[in-house]
Amino acid sequence: MFEKTKIARAIFLFLFLASIWELDTSFLYAEQYLSTTTIDALFRLFRFGPIMVTPALYYIAFSMADEVEEHLKPRWLRLLLNKVAVCLVFSWGLIVYFVGWTKQGIASLYLVQIGSYPPFLFPESGPWNWIFYSNIMLSFISLVITYTISLKITDPNKRNFLLVFSVSIAVGYIIGTMNLFQSSRLFPSAFAGLIFALMTFTAFTRMHTKIVKYMAYHDALTGLPNQRLFKSKLVDALEDAKRNGTNVAVLYMDLDRFKLINDTLGHNVGDMLLQHVAQRIKGNLNKQATASRQGGDEFTILLPDLSHEEIEMALQDLFTIFNKPFTLQDYQLYITPSIGISLYPNSGPDPDILIKNADTAMYRAKEKGKNTYQFFDETMEVEIRQKLNMENALRKALENEQFVLQYQPKVDVLTGRITGTEALIRWQHPALGFVPPSEFIPLAEETGLIIPIGKWVLSTACAQCKAWQVDEKLEMSVAVNLSMLQLRQENFIEMVEQVLMETGLDPQYLEIEITESSAMNNIELCIQRLIALKKLGVGISIDDFGTGYSSLAYLKQLPIDTLKIDRSFINDITNSEDDAAIVQAIIAMARILKLKVIAEGVETQEQLTLLEQYKCNAVQGYYLSRPLAAWDVVKRHRERMVTL
């Protein structure tokens, strides 16, 4: 609870000084073993413990003030408990201690005999003896302040511990003050030490038990219930629902784009954001609801015994708490949630299935555009199972050599010659047949499988291009599509170098294609990586140009050679004046920037004729050639000319 905090250090300092509290008086009973001069010196030396306990207690009060929420702190608390006041009290303690070394503080020690008890020495007060009583009064004032502050602490575990701690110190002090009186000097020390030790031990034992139990069932960062406690409460709620025939809703919440905040502002800011989100969620729920942190930026919420309309209202309230920004240090951050909901009994009979189905629905909410919610239905389970099967099959596809490459020719508009090809991956599944790239490429990117698949595509395409050059004497390039996930890999440039070295392909015959939207998504990294590729001698092409809202300022910084006009502009080029104007503008801009232009998706002679009039450099599309197997590319190239 207090691990590595200011209050923990303050309590440790106090306990250390308290542990030597009665060492000074213990020497007063050593008259038979030590000389009076020695006893006098040791007594004055070890007065440091009981005297400095007072400023240590004041320091505890100062540290406890940090545990009180700002709006609960009265003005007197801010005035009395500050660093300057703490320094003054510690300085006062040192003054009291040094006065104890003078005759004005303690004149001398004299022998006392009470009844049949062994004799002991007792200090004779000097003229400045009042200073010791003042220190005791300051101790009791500190105790009152400590007790008052403990009542204002909202955390029940910390409050209860500090209350017991304050009371135990007060009892010890009251009994300890009896040492000031000669007639009661024999036994108070033992009683004070015993009672203080027992009460402190009891307080720490009870507090430790509570802390262990609390930590076992609560999240350390946010203080919310953890998975174990949430599931326990869900079990209880389901039993009540079965008995009463009511509903139970399980909400699974994920914070949209939280990783971006972590990556850009650091994990400390990310942790603070999670704490603030947890506070808002907790403050928004009724007493019957339970919110927990599952881990990372994921939260679960239990809503028992609510109608469907009430659940909808609770969801709207949850989204409302994210409308205001989160103020963290110097940042004002906006973040949105995606929420999936599963309902008992329709969405599952037990806690594990309900949580899993709510998680499934949450991912559907993200697919719908984030910042929304989605109720679970059975079709999601079927889709998830199909997706899982597809992922498992995709993992085996590379090992079992189920991928093949086809090559779509790029044709020079003026000469009709094939100047290069674009390598396109195809998945030949043994049971499903050819699986379209649109079905497995997004999944490969989501699972990270695009990294090994992308390396295989690059290596295979480069090896094939080199084979065409060596075996068929064909001088043409090959283009390979690149995922942004590949570009982010630290060793990406080294991997490209290694592939070129292993295949023996001259870098000038390799062209890397990256979509405009991917390039704009992380422009600084993209520029850095593409410059490194350019230094290798590799060609760079921007694919799907015109769809990514790129800035011309950034476009000028990218070391590109070619723009590929997206097929969406080519489709209606013969019917839409707007599309025709856009294509002409792109070609004119590229000419000014000294870039080549390739139009993709050419399907008709009319489209080809217009592109020739616009002076487009090259074209690509089914009208000219479908993607071909490697040997068909050779056959097509041997024809030397494509009829335009």
Q: Which residue has the tokens 């000294």?
A: 594
Write out pLDDT tens, residues 584-624.
999 999 998 899 999 999 999 999 999 999 999 999 999 99
pLDDT tens sequence across 69-124: 766 777 777 788 888 988 999 999 999 999 989 999 888 888 877 666 677 787 88
> 24 falls in which pLDDT band (50, 70, 90)?
confident
**DSSP string over 185-208:** -SSHHHHHHHHHHHHHHHHHHHHH
Least confident of 11-20, 198-207, 275-284, 577-586: 198-207
Q: CA 118 from chain center: how many Å? A: 67
Structure-token pair, residue 367: 């697919």
The structure tokens listed for 439 are 């079905």
CA distance 132 to 284: 53
DSSP secondary structure string for all residues of 279-304: HHHHHHS-TT-EEEEEETTEEEEEEE
Question: In sequence order, what are the residues at sequence separation of 6 or more whose Cβ sits closer than 8 angstroms to the Cβ of residue 196?
Answer: 18, 168, 169, 171, 172
Partners of 628 in beta bridges: 407
Which amino acid is located at 83 in the chain? Answer: K
- Predicted local confidence at residue 171, as pLDDT: 65
Question: What pLDDT score was predicted for residue 149?
Answer: 82
Which tokens is 90 given? 């510690």
- Would you place residue 230 in the very low, low, confident or very high pLDDT band (cuts 50, 70, 90)? very high
- Specify the pLDDT at position 641: 46
| pTM metric for this prediction | 0.57
3-state secondary structure of 21: coil
For residue 194, the model assigns a pLDDT of: 55
Of 452 and 121, the structure prediction assigns the larger pLDDT to 452
The rounded distance, in Å, linking the Cα atoms of 558 and 537 is 15
pLDDT of 240 reads: 92
Give me the percent of the chain exceeding a pLDDT of 90: 43
Q: pLDDT tens digits, residue range 290-313?
A: 999 998 999 999 999 988 899 999
- What is the predicted pLDDT for the residue at 552? 65
Collapse the DSSP code of 437 into the 3-class scheme (helix H, G, I; strand E, B; otherwise coil) and give the result: helix
Distances in Å between the alpha carbon of 402 and those of 390, 395, 435, 455, 472? Answer: 13, 11, 11, 15, 26
**Least confident segment among 59-73, 606-620, 627-641:** 59-73
Pick the range with the lowest mean pLDDT from 161-170, 330-339, 477-486.
Answer: 161-170
Chain centroid to Cα 405, Å, comes to 40
- What's the whole-number mean pLDDT along residues 188-201? 55
For the chain, give the mean pLDDT. Answer: 85
pLDDT of residue 328: 84
Q: Packing angle between helix 258-265 and helix 267-284, nearest 10 degrees?
A: 140
Q: What's the pLDDT at 459?
A: 97
3-state SS, residue 425 = strand
Per the CB < 8 A criterion, the answer to whether 541 and 563 are in contact is: yes
Q: Does the pLDDT of residue 10 top 90, yes or no?
A: no
Token digits for 235?
A: 């079990």
| Identity of residue 253 | M
Of 297, 295, 306, nearest to 250 by C-alpha is 306
* DSSP per-residue codes, 120-172: EEEEEE-TTTHHHHHHHHHHHHHHHHHHHHHHH---HHHHHHHHHHHHHHHHH
Q: Residue 299 pairs with which residues in a beta bridge?
A: 253, 293
pLDDT of 177 reads 61
**Residue 188 above 70 pLDDT?**
no
pLDDT over 70 for what percent of the chain?
Answer: 88
Tokens standing for residue 434: 């050819």
Q: Strand 477-481 relative to strand 433-435: parallel, antiparallel, unpaired?
A: unpaired
pLDDT for res 497? 96
- CA 255, CA 264: separation in Å to the nearest integer? 16
Rg of the chain in Å (alpha carbons): 39
Lowest mean pLDDT among 120-134, 568-582, 609-623: 120-134
How many Å separate Cα 460 from the centre of its chain? 39
Alpha carbon distance 129, 631 (integer Å): 108
Read off the pLDDT of residues 353-362 as tens digits, 9 standing for 90 and up: 999 999 999 9
What is the spatial distance between Cα 24 and Cα 45, in angstroms, rounded to a whole number?
A: 8
Does residue 264 register a pLDDT over 50? Answer: yes
Q: How confident is the model at residue 1 (pLDDT cuts 50, 70, 90)?
A: very low
DSSP string covering 210-222: HHHHHHHHB-TTT
Report the C-alpha gap between 275 and 89 in whole angstroms: 36
pLDDT above 80: residue 430:
yes
Indicate the helix (H) or strand (E) that contains 379: helix 378-399
Residue 419 phi, psi (nearest 5): -100, -15
pLDDT tops 50 at residue 385:
yes
- For 445-512, what is the HEC assignment? HHHCCHHHHHHHHHHHHHHHHHHHHHHCCCCCEEEEECCHHHHHCCCHHHHHHHHHHHHCCCHHHEEE
C-beta separation of 380 from 585 below 8 A = no
pLDDT for 495 beyond 90: yes
Q: Give tens-digit pLDDT for 542-553.
A: 988 877 555 566
Please, which pLDDT band fits residue 460 given cuts at 50, 70 and 90?
very high
